[in-house]
């Protein structure tokens, strides 16, 4: 019985072979890392979402199909978490975009001390979210906080801030605005600095007013940068966890419980990993849908 001969490549034959398939060979390590770091966790989360598993119980996994997803549709707490997430994101990103655009317009002009002022305004980005949150907890304390002390000194009403169900999300939005508005300012400022001067010079010659140049020249030309800032901040705001968890932990009650906080409680407070995994998949689809809408708007002709 004859064994089949195994082809042996010499060095002279192997090098040209690798050169011909170099693009494929070079991609293999990156693909393996992506499979391990991204694809496997997603697939495992999908698998868990179709099974009933209480982590602290000795019971084995029990396949339940789409039952967790159906339960979420009838879960008032989950639906409220979706609303809180969208409310928080919409309010925070809208205000950050308006304030950040105004700051970018200001810093795009030459004035004394511009470099120092710009550096100071960028400092909040460098602070860790937990440190920022703890600082704002002390500032917004209804009884001993500096903000209410100053308001009381001026004879103004003293809100309960994060301690009230009516003002908790706006209070959290204030913290988010303070920390992340400089990021939008930085992105828009980069877009403004790259604008050509010719359209503005022509508009001045034609007698255009400043507000006309703003809305008819500046905004249309800088829209790509605005859309980039909008996409980044929207995705990041949807996933906000640290600021909300440190300041309120989703309270008072469940008034500030977003999808991230809801998922955390399901997984690590109640140990319902199947339910938490289903929530993560739904959350992922929501973020994906919103991202695709913004990407499509960004690619549209302005």
Could you tell me which residues come within 8 angstroms of residue 2 by beta carbon, excluding any fewer than 6 positions away?
Answer: none
CA distance 158 to 173: 18
Residue identified by tokens 């996933």 is 239
- Residues in the chain predicted with pLDDT less than 50, given as ranges, are 6, 9, 302
pLDDT of residue 10: 52
Within 13 Å and on the Cβ side, how many CA atoms surround 250? 18
Question: d(Cα 266, Cα 287) in Å, to the nearest integer?
Answer: 20
pLDDT computed for residue 207 by the predictor: 87
Q: What is the per-residue pLDDT for 11?
A: 52
Give residue 199's pLDDT: 87
* pLDDT for 301: 56
DSSP reduced 3-state for 2: coil
pLDDT at 286: 93
Q: Is the dihedral of CA 22, 28, 29, 31 positive or negative?
A: positive
Q: In 143-241, which residue ranges form alpha helices assigned H by DSSP?
A: 146-153, 168-193, 198-205, 210-213, 219-238
As a whole number of angstroms, the distance between CA 122 and CA 120 comes to 5
How much is the pLDDT for 3?
58
- Domains in the chain: ranges and CATH: 11-49 (no CATH), 67-299 (1.10.3720.10)
Give me the sign of the Cα torsion angle 161, 166, 172, 175.
negative
Query: For residue 199, how many C-alpha atoms fall within 13 Å in the half-sphere facing its CB?
Result: 16
Pairwise CA distance, residues 103 & 279, whole Å: 37
Cα–Cα distances (Å) from 75 to 80, 245, 258, 283, in that order, read: 9, 21, 14, 15
Q: What is the pLDDT of residue 171?
A: 96
52 — phi, psi (to 5°)?
A: -95, 120
Report the pLDDT value the prediction gives residue 13, as an integer from 0 to 100.
Answer: 57
């Amino acid at each position: 019985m004859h064994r089949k001969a195994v082809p042996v490549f010499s060095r002279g034959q192997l090098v040209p072979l690798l050169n011909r398939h170099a693009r494929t060979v070079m991609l293999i390590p990156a693909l393996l890392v992506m499979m391990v770091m991204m694809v496997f966790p997603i697939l495992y989360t999908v698998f868990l979402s179709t099974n009933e598993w209480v982590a602290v119980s000795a019971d084995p996994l029990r396949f339940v199909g789409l039952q967790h997803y159906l339960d979420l549709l009838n879960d008032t707490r989950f639906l409220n978490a979706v609303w809180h997430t969208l409310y928080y994101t919409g309010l925070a990103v809208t205000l950050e975009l308006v304030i950040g655009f105004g700051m970018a317009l200001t810093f795009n002009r030459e004035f004394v001390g511009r470099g120092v002022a710009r550096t100071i305004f960028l400092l909040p980005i460098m602070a860790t979210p937990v440190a920022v949150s703890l600082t704002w907890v002390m500032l917004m304390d209804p009884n001993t906080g500096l903000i209410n002390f100053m308001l009381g000194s001026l004879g103004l009403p003293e809100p309960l801030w994060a301690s009230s169900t009516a003002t908790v999300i706006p209070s959290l939005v204030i913290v988010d605005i303070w920390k992340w508005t400089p990021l939008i300012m930085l992105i828009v400022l980069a877009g403004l600095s790259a604008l050509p001067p010719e359209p503005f010079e022509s508009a001045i010659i034609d007698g255009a007013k400043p507000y006309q140049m703003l809305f008819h020249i500046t905004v249309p030309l800088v829209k790509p940068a605005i859309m980039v800032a909008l996409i980044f901040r929207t995705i990041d705001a949807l996933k906000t966890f640290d600021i909300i968890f440190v300041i309120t932990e989703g309270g008072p009650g469940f008034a500030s419980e977003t999808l991230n906080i809801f998922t955390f409680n399901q997984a690590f407070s109640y140990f319902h990993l199947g339910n938490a995994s289903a929530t993560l998949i739904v959350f992922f689809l929501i973020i994906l849908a919103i991202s695709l809408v913004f990407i499509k708007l960004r690619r549209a002709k302005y």
